[in-house]
Amino acid sequence: MISRFVDVCSADDRIVAALLRGSRARAEADEYSDLDLCVITRDEAFENVMAEREAFVRQLGEPVFIEDFGLDRIVFFILADGTECELVFGREGALAEVGVGPFKELIDKRGILDGAEFPFAELDPDERREQLRHVLNWFWHDLSHFMAAFGRGELWWACGQLEALRRYCVNLLRIEHGAEAQDEAYEKLEKAVPPSELAALQPTFCPMERDAMLKAAVDIVSFFREHAPRVAGAYGSKYPEELERLMCDRLDELALASR
């Protein structure tokens, strides 16, 4: 695959450089690792290459899956031969925007990679605070949904809300450790958060049974209340104390009614 990629990039005069990145560039890949690549185009050719990125992928093989998930300058694809790839596009005049981390040079037609570094972009402090604000408030909003579902006996919905609450806790820990909150909260979680700090959440993966689910909800809320005010204080965010009080009172009432 890398050989095909090099051949395609070498033959395309719109492309000035190509990189191998990710776990393979760091010599950390295993049998489950995908292939992380990057192409750098001439400035004037960038929009054209982006418009034809599916055609570019088809030169590498027959895709059975191709999607950008609404992201700029990136495409994910799986080829019929089983190759999974994440391909980033950059342009020569804006190398600082590439942000692919450690890399290995595959092609450099103009010497633009000499001494180049592509550090991962750090999350803007305002964006981090917004992520935290979302976690701090929406946790309690989704707890309300759990209680409604549980009270109505709609256990599938309630189970889904338990999972949402657990992901808020996981993303809270990510933020506490300087990582970015993610939609796929569990992805590579052990690298972002010490497993010992996750241990209290492990028992909350429970059977779809009323008593077990209610206990899991109480334990998740206890975990969140232990960590959230501290993280909020560390980042100068307002913690919704009144919202916490209101929802915890309702959870107590639900627990009493369920005995």
User: For residue 109, what are its two tokens?
Assistant: 């037609």
Average pLDDT, the chain: 94
CA distances from 192 to 33, 104, 175, 229 (A): 18, 24, 9, 20
The pLDDT tens digits of the residues spanning 69-99 come to 988 899 999 999 999 999 999 999 998 888 8
- pLDDT level of residue 119 (50, 70, 90 thresholds): confident
The pLDDT tens digits of the residues spanning 165-205 come to 999 999 999 999 988 899 999 999 999 999 999 999 999 99
Global pTM?
0.84
**What angle do helix axes 155-176 and 125-151 make, rounded to 10 degrees?**
160
CB 150 within 8 A of CB 214: yes
Identify the residue whose tokens are 């204080």: 233
CB 15 within 8 A of CB 9: yes
Q: Please report the DSSP string for 135-151 in residue order.
A: HHHHHHHHHHHHHHHHH
Better-predicted residue by pLDDT, 180 or 137:
137
Question: What is the chain's Cα-based Rg?
Answer: 23
CB 146 within 8 A of CB 162: yes
Distance CA 87, CA 76 (A): 6
- pLDDT level of residue 161 (50, 70, 90 thresholds): very high
Cβ neighbors of 129 (< 8 A, separation 6 or more) are 235, 236, 237
